[in-house]
Structure 1
Amino acid sequence: MTALRIGVMYDRSWDPAGLPAFAREVEALGVDDLWVVEDLGWNGGISAAAVALGATERLRVGLGIAPAPLRSPALLAMEIATLARVFPGRLVAGVGHGVREWMRQVGVAPRSPLALLEETLGAVRGLLRGERVTVDGRELRIDGVELVHPPAKDAVPQVIAGVVSPRSLELAGRAAQGTLVAEGHGPQDLHTARAAAQRGGAGADHTLTVFTFLGVGDAAAPALREAVAGHAEWLGRDTSETFAAGGTAQEAADALRALGAAGAQTVVARVCGPEPLGQLREVLTALRG
C-alpha cells in the first residue's frame, strides 16, 4: 500500500508575502505537498506555485484549483510547462469549473461548464504531452497549437479535476488523471467520488486528493467551527455531516488516516485558527507515532 501523502494548504486569507517562508518551514517539517489556491480576488495560483517552488527544494506544489473559464487552456499549459521545465516532478495542476457566481462576475461563465472543463482538460493534457492540439468543441476553439518547450517526457505534471457534483466526478474519471475533493467531504464521500470516477472510466492509476479543515486544540476550535459552518452552507449539508479533522492532535491524525483508508492518496490540511505551523507539527508527530 502506498504511503499517505500529507499536504498543507497556504490559505487564501494569508498574505502572499508570507508564502516563501511558510513553504520553507513546512518543507523542513517533512510535509509532502504544499497547495496554493486560485480564488477570484485572492491570489494568483500559477504565480503562487512559482513562489513556493522557488523557495523550496523537494516539496511538491499543488495548484488547487485553476478555474477553467478564467484561463485559456493554451496559456494555462504554457504556464504549467514553464514550471515543469524548471522544477521537474514537483507540480500537480488542479483544474475545475470555478465558482459560477465568480465566473459571472468577470463575464466568463460558459454555457456548459461540463463541456468547457472536459475540453480544457483534454487540451491542457495534450499540450503538456507535446502534441499539436486542435479543438472544435462546444466551448473551445483551438487551431493547431503546440508548445515549443513542453515538459520533459518523464516529468509531465499530473492534471487533476477539482469537482464536487456527481456528473463532474464522472467527468474527472473520464478526462483527468485524478480527482481533487473539496473540504468538508469525509470517508463515505470519498468512496462515492471514487465510484463516480470509475463510472467515468477512471483506471487504477487515477488518484484521489482531498482537502480537509484541521484545527488542533481549544484555541483552534472556534475557527474550525466557523470554517465548517460556512462550508456546510456552500455544500448544502448540515454541519454534522461536514467532515473536519479536529480535537486533539491524535484525534486529528486519526481523521486524516480515515481519509487515507477511504482511498485518498493525498490529504491536504487547511489549518484553522492560530499557530498553524504548531498545529501541523503536532499532527505530524501524532501521525508518525
Structure 2
Amino acid sequence: MTNVRIGVMYDRAWDPAGLVGFARQAEEIGLDDLWVVEDLGWNGGVSAAAIALGATTRLRVGIGIAPAPLRSPALLAMELATLERAFPGRLVAGIGHGASNWMAQVGLAPKSALAMLEETFTAVRALLRGEKVELDGREVHIDGVRLVHPPEVAPPLVAGVVQPRSLELAGRVADGTLLAEGHGPDDVRTAWELARKGGAGDGFGVVAYAAGAIDDDPDRAAAALREFLAGHAAWLGRTPDELFTVSGTAAQAATRIEELVDAGAQTVILRVFGPEPLGQMAALLAARAAEPAEG
C-alpha cells in the first residue's frame, strides 16, 4: 500500500446544512481530506471551507475550485489568508477557469481565459506572501494592494484545469494540478509531463478527483455511477467507458487508487455516488489498511 492522501468531496448537490456533521464524521473515520465545491448557483467554496475547517481539528480542507473570473484576486487572497491564519496548515485552494457558459451568465467571461488564470495565480500568490502587488495585466488590474494579515505560510494553490495549455500553465504558476473526475493514470502522467514542461519543480503535486461507488456488488456500484458518467463524458469529450472510476468492491476500489498513485497522484478525492457515502469511504479505508505495506 503506497502513501497517498485519501479524501472525499462534499458534492454540490448535497444540502450545505449537512456539511458540519459530514465533516466531523469524515475526520472520525480517518480520511485525510475533505474537498468542497464552488459552482455557480450551487454553493460558495470559501464559506463551505470555513464551515468544514471550523467543524474539525485535523482534516485538511480543499476548495475545488474557485473560478478565476468570478473571484477578485484581492478578495480571494484576503479570504484564503483569513482561513489559513485561523486554521494553519489545513487549507488547499483550487483555482480554475470556471465553466465558460456560467461565467458568461454573470457577465464575467474574460477575453483571455489563460491570461485571467495566470494573472490571478500571480496576484493571489504574491499577496499571500505578504507582497505589495502592482499588476496591470490583460485581465487583472491591481494597484498597490498588500494584505495586512498575510499567513505565516501561504496555503498551496492548485490549478483545476483540463486542456494542455492550461496544464502546462499549472506547472508555471501553481503548486499543483487538480484533475477532474474521469481522468485516469494516463491523464495523471500527461498532467505531470505538461507541468514539468511549464516549469514545475520540487513540491508540485497532482490531486485527482475520481467518481466512486463502493459496493459488495460491483454491478450495483456501476449502476450508481451510470447517469453521472454519461453526462460527464460529454463534458470531457469522451465516451462513458473511457472514464476512469474508483468503484466496485472495496478491494477493487483500493486497487484503482493504487493505479492513480503509481501514475503520480499524491492525493485522491472521491466524489461518491450511491447510499451512505462515508460508509463507502470507511470500507475503502479498511480495504487499504488490509493491504500489505510497500517496502
| Alpha-carbon displacement from aligned partner over 1:37-64 (angstroms, at most 9, x marks no partner) | 0000101000000000000001000000
Contact persistence 1:163–1:179 (CA under 8 A): yes
Mapped to 1, the partners of 2:262 and 2:183 lie a distance apart of 14
Q: CA deviation at 1:275?
A: 1.0
Partner of 1:252: 253
Are positions 1:230 and 2:225 aligned together? no
Q: Does the CA contact (< 8 Å) of 2:158 and 2:170 recur in 1?
A: yes
* Residue 34 (structure 2) pairs with residue 37 (structure 1): no
- Give the TM-score of the pair, scaled to structure 2: 0.95
With the length of structure 1 as denominator, give the TM-score of the two structures: 0.97
| Residue number in structure 2 paired with 1:120 | 120
- Asked whether the equivalents of residues 221 and 273 of structure 1 are also in contact (C-alpha less than 8 Å), the reply is no
Give CA deviations for 1:49-98 in whole Å, capped at 9, x if unaligned: 00000000010000000000000000000000000110000000000000
Rounded to whole Å, the distance in 1 between the matches of 2:129 and 2:78 is: 12
Q: Which residue matches 2:188? A: 190
SS of the equivalent of 2:144 reads strand
Residues 1-289 of structure 1 aligned to structure 2 (within 5 Å): 3-152=3-152, 155-217=153-215, 218=217, 219-289=220-290
CA contact (8 A) 1:129 1:151 kept: yes
Report the number of matched residues.
287
Q: 2:211 is matched by which residue type in structure 1? A: F
Q: SS in structure 2 opposite 1:64?
A: strand
Query: Unmatched 5+ residue regions in structure 2?
Result: 291-295
Quote the offset at 1:169 in angstroms. 0.1
What is the deviation of 1:204? 2.9
Distance 2:171 2:127 in 1: 19
Q: Deviation per CA, 1:104-155, whole angstroms, max 9, x where unpaired?
A: 0100000000000000000000000000001111111100100000001xx3
1:2, distance to aligned residue in structure 2 (A): 7.7
Q: CA deviation at 1:220?
A: 3.8
Task: Name which of structure 1's ranges 116-125 and 196-205 shifts more when overlaid on structure 2.
Answer: 196-205
Alpha-carbon distance in 1 for matches of 2:202, 2:148: 32
Unaligned runs of 5+ in 1: none
The answer as to whether partners of 2:123 and 2:133 remain within 8 angstroms in 1 is yes
- Matches of 2:147 and 2:203, distance apart in 1: 26
Check whether the contact 1:35–1:62 (CA below 8 A) recurs between aligned residues.
yes
Instruction: Provide the C-alpha distance between the structure 2 equivalents of 1:139 and 1:39, rounded to a whole number of angstroms.
Output: 21
How far the C-alpha of 1:222 sits from its partner, in A, is 2.1
For the residue of structure 2 that corresponds to 1:131, the secondary structure is coil
Distance 1:119 1:265 in 2: 26
Task: Note the C-alpha offset of 1:213.
Answer: 0.4
C-alpha separation in 2, matches of 1:82 and 1:50: 10
TM-align CA RMSD: 1.1
Give distance in 1, aligned partners of 2:31 and 2:118: 31
Is contact 2:2-2:261 (8 Å) kept? no
Give the letter for the 2:81 counterpart.
A
Checking the alignment, whether the CA contact within 8 Å between 1:220 and 1:274 is kept in structure 2 is no
Amino acid at match of 1:178: G
Q: Deviations over 1:8-56 (max 9, x none)?
A: 0000000000000000001001100000000001010000000000000
Identity %, equivalent residues: 66
